[in-house]
């Protein structure tokens, strides 16, 4: 099975760690280079282009199935989650999976006046009750690649009047998602969306916007940007742009092109490619006597094997060690040869 990335990628390692950080396509690297050179030469006119930011916003929206007016841009998942945490009333209950990624839960804990309750991922839907204000979880778990039963979570939340916050950082770009099915989604762009760090996305339904205040708003949150620079913003944007953070232009100039590539290849094709490679890796691991976490994720984790990461690195194979697991993740630039190289080293 060949890669889907073509000439856009040229890794010098066997790179199986997209869940840590995705590889930048050549077109994105060139976009950063052009902007950096323009800034250095004094031709940038303000360090970057809002057109690039808007193109990235719209492209991300198409990838996750919502209009650009429902997408806010920013720099990190933790800031997006902090915005949502600030909107909850004191004493509100937040339900989250045990072992959830820190950025998804810490802003709620840091409030100090919210009730955060942790349950096993497989019991998250049944844990939602009439007192639950929000369910916060990742679509795909960072530590081991497990995919949540999202339909069950949505059903339970709807039955009890709770909102759902979905972190799509380990999913968007390979797992087909409809962001509009969740009150909020937050997504780091630097993994399967192939963007640099500094590009992240928040989606908010129209209903959820009614109770989400733009507490970190600056001039970019104004409906009329020509009048928002001095003094307080008089009218906030009628779209999710009211929740924007100021864009890191170098990241967003690259993001425009990275997201266009994901669209060009197609999430369905990437999903089929990545999960097929992951299935091959799971079969090979099982034949070697290991016990990978079962499932159909593009992320494969092997409990207790995290200490093999340095050995694999010395052989030019990049994986990650997470929570004691060896974690390998597969994307459009990987091939069956990558799988077989990793299995060969592990067999030794």
- Please name every residue paired with 118 in a beta bridge, in sequence order, or none if there are none: 96
Q: Which one of 264, 295, 323 terminates a domain?
A: 264
Cα 145 to Cα 327: distance, rounded to the nearest angstrom? 8
Same domain, 97 and 166: yes
- Closest residue by Cα to residue 118 from 109, 110, 62: 109
Cα 7 to Cα 196: distance, rounded to the nearest angstrom? 19
Cα 300 to Cα 146: distance, rounded to the nearest angstrom? 9
Decide if 1 is inside a domain.
Answer: no
Question: What H or E segment, with its residue span, contains residue 235?
Answer: none
With 0.85 as the threshold, say if the pTM is over it. yes
Cα 93 to Cα 109: distance, rounded to the nearest angstrom? 11
Same domain, 250 and 270: no
What local confidence, expressed as pLDDT, does residue 235 receive?
A: 92
The residue ranges of the chain whose pLDDT is under 50 are: none
What local confidence, expressed as pLDDT, does residue 43 receive?
A: 78
Tokens of 89: 């009333």
pLDDT digits (tens, 9 = 90+) for 97-113: 999 999 999 999 999 99
- The CA-based angle 283-332-193, given to 5 degrees, is 120
Q: Which one of 241, 264, 287 terminates a domain?
A: 264
What local confidence, expressed as pLDDT, does residue 196 receive?
A: 97
Which structural domain, as residue segments, surrounds residue 290? 6-25+265-347
What local confidence, expressed as pLDDT, does residue 44 receive?
A: 66
Same domain, 258 and 269: no
Strand, coil or helix: what is 198? Answer: coil
Same domain, 219 and 178: yes
Q: Could you tell me how far CA 154 lies from the centroid of its own chain? A: 19
Question: What H or E segment, with its residue span, contains residue 179?
Answer: none
What local confidence, expressed as pLDDT, does residue 6 receive?
A: 85
CATH number at residue 276: 3.90.1150.10
What local confidence, expressed as pLDDT, does residue 61 receive?
A: 98
Same domain, 18 and 37: no
Same domain, 223 and 288: no
Decide if 116 is inside a domain.
Answer: yes
Q: How many domains in the chain?
A: 2
Q: Which one of 242, 264, 286 terminates a domain?
A: 264
CATH number at residue 164: 3.40.640.10
Question: What H or E segment, with its residue span, contains residue 186?
Answer: strand 184-188
Largest CA distance in the chain: 66
């Amino acid at each position: 099975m060949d890669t889907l990335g073509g000439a856009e990628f040229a890794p010098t390692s066997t790179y199986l760690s997209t869940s840590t950080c995705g590889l930048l396509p050549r077109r994105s690297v060139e976009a950063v280079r052009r902007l950096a050179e323009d800034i250095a030469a004094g031709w940038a006119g303000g360090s970057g282009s809002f057109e690039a930011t808007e193109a990235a916003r719209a492209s991300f929206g198409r990838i996750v199935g919502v209009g650009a007016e429902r997408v806010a841009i920013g720099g990190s998942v933790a800031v997006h989650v902090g915005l949502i945490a600030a909107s909850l009333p004191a004493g509100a209950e937040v339900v989250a999976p045990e072992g959830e990624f820190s950025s998804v839960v810490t802003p709620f804990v840091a409030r100090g006046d919210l009730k955060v309750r942790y349950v096993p991922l497989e019991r998250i839907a049944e844990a939602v009750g009439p007192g639950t204000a929000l369910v916060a979880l990742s679509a795909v778990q960072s530590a081991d690649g497990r995919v949540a039963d999202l339909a069950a979570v949505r059903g339970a939340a709807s039955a009890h009047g709770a909102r759902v916050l979905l972190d799509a950082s380990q999913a968007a770009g390979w797992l087909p998602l409809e962001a509009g099915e969740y009150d909020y989604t937050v997504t780091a762009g630097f993994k399967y969306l192939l963007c640099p760090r500094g590009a992240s996305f928040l989606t908010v339904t129209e209903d959820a916007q009614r109770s989400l205040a733009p507490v970190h708003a600056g001039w970019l949150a104004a409906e009329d940007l020509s009048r928002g620079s001095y003094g307080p913003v008089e009218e906030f944007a009628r779209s999710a742009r009211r929740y924007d953070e100021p864009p890191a232009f170098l990241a967003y100039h690259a993001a425009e092109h990275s997201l266009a590539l994901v669209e060009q290849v197609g999430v369905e094709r990437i999903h089929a490619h990545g999960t097929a490679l992951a299935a091959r890796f799971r079969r090979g691991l099982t034949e070697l006597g290991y016990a990978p976490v079962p499932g159909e994720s593009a992320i494969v984790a092997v409990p207790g094997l995290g200490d093999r990461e340095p050995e694999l690195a010395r052989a030019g194979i990049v994986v990650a060690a997470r929570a004691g697991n060896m974690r390998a993740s597969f994307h459009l630039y990987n091939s069956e040869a990558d799988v077989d190289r990793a299995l060969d080293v592990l067999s030794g």
